[in-house]
Chains A and B, each alone.
Chain A
Amino acid sequence: MAAADTAGTSFSDAVSGSYDSDAQDLPPGVGPWKLAWRRLRRNKVALFFGFIFVLLVVVCLLAPVYAHDIAHTSPNAEAGLTATVKVGGKVKPVVNSIGIPIGPTWHAKYFFGADINGRDTAVRLLYGGRNSLEIGAVATIITMVLATFFGVLAGFYRGWWDAVITRFADVIWAYPAVLLGITLGTVFATGGIGPIHGTFLLAPAIVVGIVYIPYVLKPVRAQVLQLREREFIDAARQQGLSSTQIMFRELLPNISSTIVVFMPLILANAILLEAGLSYLGAGVQPPNPSWGTMIAEGLQPLPAAFSNVLVPGFMLVIAVMSVNIFGDGVRDALDPRAKVRIAR
């Protein structure tokens, strides 16, 4: 996604067309969600990558349960410069005399080797994944909740609400994602605002969550602006439903497919942006690992021990790619225009 390096002005456009489900196209008796699920079930590639992602999440989240029993070390335990490890009957130093750490041993201990501080890369990878995925998930929730809330508010009430919210979104929008991210991240890391401080692990989640709000807010608002002119909203109003009831009971279900389509997209980008921020030192703060910080640390002794860049890097790519491919499948499944047309 372009957003990893610029604001990726773009990705809302990629899906903006896909959520206007024309109900009249559907055969009677089958709801749009059921139909979408039926289509998704046929998309084996998307399901496969969805499974991969779930597997990654489980493996990383459960790291505290099993990692110690296998590798006998914790993510932040430094082995010390004299530590050794037995590989294939030979005793080798974890970090050699010129500071180059050991590469992958393919044994329970130091499976993926060690980093320059002699910490077990595989264990840090799992804990780092935990942090990266948690931050990505929390950031996505922040983005989706705030963007939906303010988007619905702006679209439904229009007038002043709309003007203020849209201007705010425009200002965030004019800021490239990475630039805004590192500014906010650095501010949190050095000074902190209120209770949010650099050592607070979810600080990057708040940063990333804020950055992506306009990308979801704009399409949600646009859709609500369209929906509020439709007959069923008038009907609801004439039945005496309050504005809150209309927003929750009538509007929200109608924009839910938009929200579902955006969720994986935002998740993938949130994980990427967190990695970028951590790489630049404005995300997760040491000694806590995340895939981004691990890549950054692995790059320090370049050209040696490149495995410390490749291992977290590919983990990150696999996670993001599986979310992207699964999300693409979800988008296809929810897009009624994927249907075969009788007349071209």
Chain B
Amino acid sequence: MSEPAARSNGDAPLLTVDGLKVSFATEDGVVRAVDGVSFTVDPGEVVAIVGESGSGKSVTAMTLMGLTRGPNARFEGTATFDGIELVGASNAQLQRIRGPGIAMVFQDPMSSLDPVYRVGAQIVEQIRAHENVSKAQAMDRAVEMMERVGIPRAKQRLRSYPHEFSGGMRQRVMIAMALSCSPKLLLADEPTTALDVTIQAQILQEMRDLRQQTGAGVILVTHDLGVVADIADRVIVMYSGRVVEQGTLDDIFYNPQHPYTWGLLGSIPRIDDNRAEKLPAIPGLPPSVLRAPKGCHFRPRCPHAFDKCVEVPELERRQPDVPTSRDRCWLSVPDKKRLRVVGERIGLETTETVGA
């Protein structure tokens, strides 16, 4: 696939994903959920994977944990974490990695905790699955973890059941649980989507602090560019199973190369926006996971598509002066610079608008 993205430091990356493909056989046909994804994550780095639902971002994250395995799933490519190849790893290997190696926080804190066990027991279970410590020691650690993620009266709350917590508190429990074995890589799959905006900000703050304290790498899967701007170092934009663009936070927000990214950026409402009455949306619908269009998957929705777009562009470095940026778009760099400006900001030229 493509050369790995340039990194800020000289150490080996924590995680290297190369040419990852995931497909599922369903009764309606083969779903190519992930179609050639490559990226790296360094220790202490926050990499955001951005995309609409169905773009394959969650499947990518769950595949790293081996959670998409099943009789109908097919995998290609590699994902190397800490010297271990994850895609082909045995169940026993994966079980050792899950927790102390890679830990995951899921989207819906309401349903991600087992309703019949006390939260303390669930954190203790995580610790004791990997460390030979007594129940009492594990309990102490659980309290410590809960305090660290900002759960008040942790000692008492340890004995509460998940349904006795609010959504934000439950997500904190999930994070406490995920961090209790000091993972080297944290996968956060839409960790704040199900939460109120104020709680969202608190949870993100916790994650930021934790990264600083533990030096763990973080993969943040989200569709929310606001969250990305808040916390990410690098951004991967996915569309219909493929990475369409990746780069540093600044690359993506100030120098985006792919029309889909322009569309995403253009649909963020801004307080300083004069045209507040109109919020542009990307025209059309994401392609069916069963019948993706030929060539560039974004072609049917792209106002700038031309005859070259029926061929799949490689994800590669296209701007000689920007070493961190990669994209999959046939347009020339000067064309992109010109076409992405709509009005006075970055956006996708569109005939359709929705009321703000």
A/B touching: CB–CB < 8 A: yes
Chain A residues within 8 Å of B, Cβ to Cβ: 27, 39, 339-340, 342-344
Chain B residues with Cβ below 8 Å from A27 are 28, 290
B72 x A344 contact (CB < 8 A): no
A313 to B42, CA, bound (A): 71
Of chain B, the residue at the smallest CB distance from A35 is B27
From the candidates A39, A339, A343, A344, name the one contacting B26 in the complex (CB within 8 A). A339
B68 x A343 contact (CB < 8 A): yes
Listed residue (A339, A342, A343, A344) with the most chain B CB atoms within 10 angstroms of its CB? A342
Of chain B, the residue at the smallest CB distance from A338 is B27
Chain B residues within 8 Å of A, Cβ to Cβ: 24-28, 31, 33, 58-59, 62, 67-68, 70, 72, 289-290
Chain B residues with Cβ below 8 Å from A343 are 58-59, 62, 67-68
A27 to B291, CA, bound (A): 12
A226 to B15, CA, bound (A): 48
Chain A residues with Cβ below 8 Å from B70 are 340, 344
Chain A residues with Cβ below 8 Å from B24 are 340, 342
A27 to B62, CA, bound (A): 25
B27 x A342 contact (CB < 8 A): no
Of chain B, the residue at the smallest CB distance from A26 is B28
B67 x A342 contact (CB < 8 A): no
Looking at chain A's contact residues, is the secondary structure mostly helix, strand, loop, or mixed?
Answer: loop
B68 x A340 contact (CB < 8 A): no
Of chain A, the residue at the smallest CB distance from B62 is A343
A193 to B155, CA, bound (A): 69
A340 to B290, CA, bound (A): 14
Of chain A, the residue at the smallest CB distance from B29 is A27
A312 to B235, CA, bound (A): 72
Shortest A217–chain B CB gap in Å is: 30
A39 to B26, CA, bound (A): 12
Chain A residues with Cβ below 8 Å from B26 are 339-340, 342
Q: Which 4 A-B pairs have the closest CB atoms?
A: A340-B26, A340-B72, A27-B28, A342-B24
B27 x A39 contact (CB < 8 A): yes
Chain B residues with Cβ below 8 Å from A340 are 24-27, 70, 72
Shortest B283–chain A CB gap in Å is: 20
Show 15 residue pairs from A and B whose CB-CB distance is below 8 angstroms, ordered by the A residue. A339-B26, A340-B24, A340-B27, A340-B70, A342-B24, A342-B26, A342-B31, A342-B33, A343-B58, A343-B59, A343-B62, A343-B67, A343-B68, A344-B67, A344-B70
Chain A residues with Cβ below 8 Å from B27 are 39, 339-340
A76 to B330, CA, bound (A): 88
Chain A residues with Cβ below 8 Å from B33 are 342
Of chain A, the residue at the smallest CB distance from B28 is A27
A342 to B60, CA, bound (A): 12
Shortest A231–chain B CB gap in Å is: 22
A113 to B124, CA, bound (A): 70
Of chain B, the residue at the smallest CB distance from A42 is B27
Shortest A334–chain B CB gap in Å is: 14
Shortest B46–chain A CB gap in Å is: 23
A343 to B63, CA, bound (A): 10
Of chain A, the residue at the smallest CB distance from B33 is A342
A39 to B68, CA, bound (A): 24
Shortest B238–chain A CB gap in Å is: 15
Chain A residues with Cβ below 8 Å from B67 are 343-344
A27 to B24, CA, bound (A): 16
Shortest A33–chain B CB gap in Å is: 16
For the complex with contacts A39-B27, A342-B26, 17 further pairs of A-B residues with Cβ separation under 8 Å are: A27-B28, A27-B290, A339-B26, A339-B27, A340-B25, A340-B26, A340-B70, A342-B24, A342-B31, A342-B33, A342-B68, A342-B289, A343-B58, A343-B59, A343-B68, A344-B62, A344-B70
A344 x B68 contact (CB < 8 A): yes
Chain A residues with Cβ below 8 Å from B59 are 342-343
Listed residue (A39, A339, A340) with the most chain B CB atoms within 10 angstroms of its CB? A340
Of chain A, the residue at the smallest CB distance from B61 is A343
A339 to B70, CA, bound (A): 13
Chain B residues with Cβ below 8 Å from A344 are 62, 67-68, 70
Chain A residues with Cβ below 8 Å from B68 are 342-344
Shortest B28–chain A CB gap in Å is: 5
A340 to B31, CA, bound (A): 11
Shortest A109–chain B CB gap in Å is: 53
Shortest A40–chain B CB gap in Å is: 12
A284 to B329, CA, bound (A): 79
A39 to B28, CA, bound (A): 11
Of chain B, the residue at the smallest CB distance from A28 is B288
Listed residue (B28, B70, B289) with the most chain A CB atoms within 10 angstroms of its CB? B28
A343 to B111, CA, bound (A): 15
Shortest B115–chain A CB gap in Å is: 17
Chain B residues with Cβ below 8 Å from A339 are 26-27
A27 to B29, CA, bound (A): 11
Chain B residues with Cβ below 8 Å from A342 are 24, 26, 31, 33, 59, 68, 289
A269 to B27, CA, bound (A): 33
Shortest B191–chain A CB gap in Å is: 16
A342 to B72, CA, bound (A): 9
Shortest A319–chain B CB gap in Å is: 31
A27 to B33, CA, bound (A): 16
Shortest A35–chain B CB gap in Å is: 9
A343 to B72, CA, bound (A): 11
A339 to B290, CA, bound (A): 15
Shortest B247–chain A CB gap in Å is: 27
Listed residue (A39, A339, A343, A344) with the most chain B CB atoms within 10 angstroms of its CB? A343
A232 to B11, CA, bound (A): 59
A82 to B7, CA, bound (A): 104
A121 to B46, CA, bound (A): 81
Chain A residues with Cβ below 8 Å from B28 are 27
A27 to B67, CA, bound (A): 25
A339 to B72, CA, bound (A): 11
